[in-house]
Structure 1
Amino acid sequence: MNKLMPIEAAKQFINKHFPNCHGALLAGSVVRGEATETSDLDIVIFDKNLNSSYRESFIDFGWAIEAFVHNLTSYKHFFKSDCERAKPSMPQMVSEGIILRDEGFIDSIKREANELLEKGPVEWSAETIRIKRYFLTDALDDFKGCSDRSEELFIANSLADLISEFVLRTNGKWIGTSKWLVRTLKNFDETFANQFVEAFDLFYKTGEKQRIIQIVEQVLQPYGGELFDGFSLGKTRL
């Protein structure tokens, strides 16, 4: 089958697979104008008669399609859990989604999503920052001391996640993984994001570690720098 245009494919999809749904949104990269040759369609479905939410994958109308299916309350659990982990996937989909079908309630759900996104994640406590400093320091020490190239590669991967999380969360921003790791950094500070990418690109190409080390030191410095001596976790006193 020829590949239909995204909105037309999405409309035909819900007519075929969810004809009795009460609301539907098309979200994802096609809505943001970021689609690639391998992009799929993310479609949020609302059905008042469902007992619980589920996710299902399809190939139809020339597209890979991910359906996120909810009743009129189940989405709230995903809003909450996404915000607690600071990765607001479902609120973002609802917020950006193009309405395909609506029986009068989609606008209110979109408002919920927008309010959560604007509010941002829960602020890290001083104790959380202290713990994150320690684990970032620990990974950095492993990175500095490692001479096994195969091990270095995966320590670097961990450092990338830890650095981006620390920078974004200490600044009250949402975080991301995979391609969203860089996108969230760019949304926050494009200059820093470029330095971050360049440092890791240099390491993966040449093995040069110093620029990654400098970035870790830079992001930790305002919070007291590296932390090892005196750190404890779970210690109790009689």
Structure 2
Amino acid sequence: MQKYNKIEPVVAAQKFIHKYFPACDAALLAGSVVRGEATETSDLDIVVFDQSLSTSYRESLIDFDWHIEVFVHNLNSYQAFFESDRKRARPSLPQMVSEGIVLKDTGIIDSIKMEAKKLLADGPQKWSDEMVQMKRYFITDALDDFIGCKDRDEEIFIANALAELSSEFLLRTNNRWIGASKWVIRSLKNFNPQFAERFIEAFDLFYRTGSKDKIIKLIDEILLPYGGRIFDGFSLGKK
């Protein structure tokens, strides 16, 4: 594990649990410090399970020289978050539970970890055919705007939207988890490192030079197995 100028993350996390949640049933340390990806600005992600609580909550604070994000659940509330994460295809809590280092356990954590790992292995809720069609249309619409746009300011933001829409489409149609911010590219790399490299190259080239060709080619390639771009005949909500 990476060395720090402040208290070691596991030690700080254990002190945090002892100070704030001494009676909890279980606690885990997760996040970048566990994966070996921590930076100077990384915080501690701590998941707490306490059966005495009536509701779940999240809180941010600073203690023991660390910024700390704590996610607190009773022994039932986490399941609703697991299901919500499955539906939105962003497995934030299951990922933290699955990878987390045990800080405290009264005998419950193994079964919760098994739930998280099974959910991650099963993948997110599958898109319906109707959803695939709708997402194809939104990508087509954004791509047409991108191709025709002559305003550099607007092009930048259309490109941002295309990156998000197209990466989501590729991952969801392949039953893979998605992410936000840095997790967009991490999700693509986990799925297909070679494609992720092309994806980065295409958008980087546009941001540096204004060249759109590689982005257009890439998105057409993503849409091709599902019929390509769609406009004529598409409807939403028609009965």
TM-score relative to the length of structure 2: 0.97
What residue number does 1:74 align with?
77
Quick one: percent identity of the two aligned structures? Answer: 66
- In structure 2, the residue corresponding to 1:176 is in which secondary structure? coil
Q: Aligned-pair distance for 1:161?
A: 0.5
What residue number does 1:159 align with?
162
Superposed CA RMSD: 0.8
2:59 matched to 1:56? Answer: yes
Q: Aligned-pair distance for 1:179?
A: 0.3
- Amino acid of the residue matched to residue 33 of structure 1? G
* Selected match of 1:176 from 167, 176, 179: 179
- Amino acid of the residue matched to residue 38 of structure 1? T
What residue number does 1:130 align with?
133
Q: Aligned-pair distance for 1:89?
A: 0.4
2:231 matched to 1:228? Answer: yes
- Amino acid of the residue matched to residue 115 of structure 1? K
Q: Aligned-pair distance for 1:122?
A: 1.9
What residue number does 2:152 align with?
149
What residue number does 1:206 align with?
209
- Amino acid of the residue matched to residue 63 of structure 1? W
What residue number does 1:27 align with?
30
* CA distance in 1 between partners of 2:131 and 2:86 (Å): 17
- Amino acid of the residue matched to residue 118 of structure 1? A
Deviation >3 Å, runs of 4+: none
What residue number does 2:6 align with?
3
Q: Could you give the per-residue CA deviations for residues 103-127 of structure 1, whole angstroms, max 9, x where no partner exists? A: 0000000000011000001222222
* CA distance in 2 between partners of 1:127 and 1:136 (Å): 14
What residue number does 2:199 align with?
196
What residue number does 2:50 align with?
47
2:87 matched to 1:92? Answer: no
* CA distance in 2 between partners of 1:45 and 1:222 (Å): 43
- In structure 2, the residue corresponding to 1:69 is in which secondary structure? strand
Q: Aligned-pair distance for 1:203?
A: 0.7
Q: Aligned-pair distance for 1:30?
A: 0.5
* CA distance in 1 between partners of 2:104 and 2:225 (Å): 49
Q: Could you give the per-residue CA deviations for residues 148-207 of structure 1, whole angstroms, max 9, x where no partner exists? A: 111111111110011111110111101111000000000000000000001111111111
Q: Could you give the per-residue CA deviations for residues 63-96 of structure 1, whole angstroms, max 9, x where no partner exists? A: 1000000111010111010110000100000000
Q: Aligned-pair distance for 1:17?
A: 1.3
Q: Aligned-pair distance for 1:21?
A: 1.2
Which shows bigger deviation, 28-37 or 12-21?
12-21
Q: Aligned-pair distance for 1:128?
A: 1.3
Q: Could you give the per-residue CA deviations for residues 8-56 of structure 1, whole angstroms, max 9, x where no partner exists? A: 0000011111112111000000001111111000000111110100001
- Amino acid of the residue matched to residue 51 of structure 1? S
TM-score relative to the length of structure 1: 0.97
- In structure 1, the residue corresponding to 2:211 is in which secondary structure? coil
- Amino acid of the residue matched to residue 110 of structure 1? K
Q: Aligned-pair distance for 1:134?
A: 0.5
* CA distance in 2 between partners of 1:91 and 1:171 (Å): 20
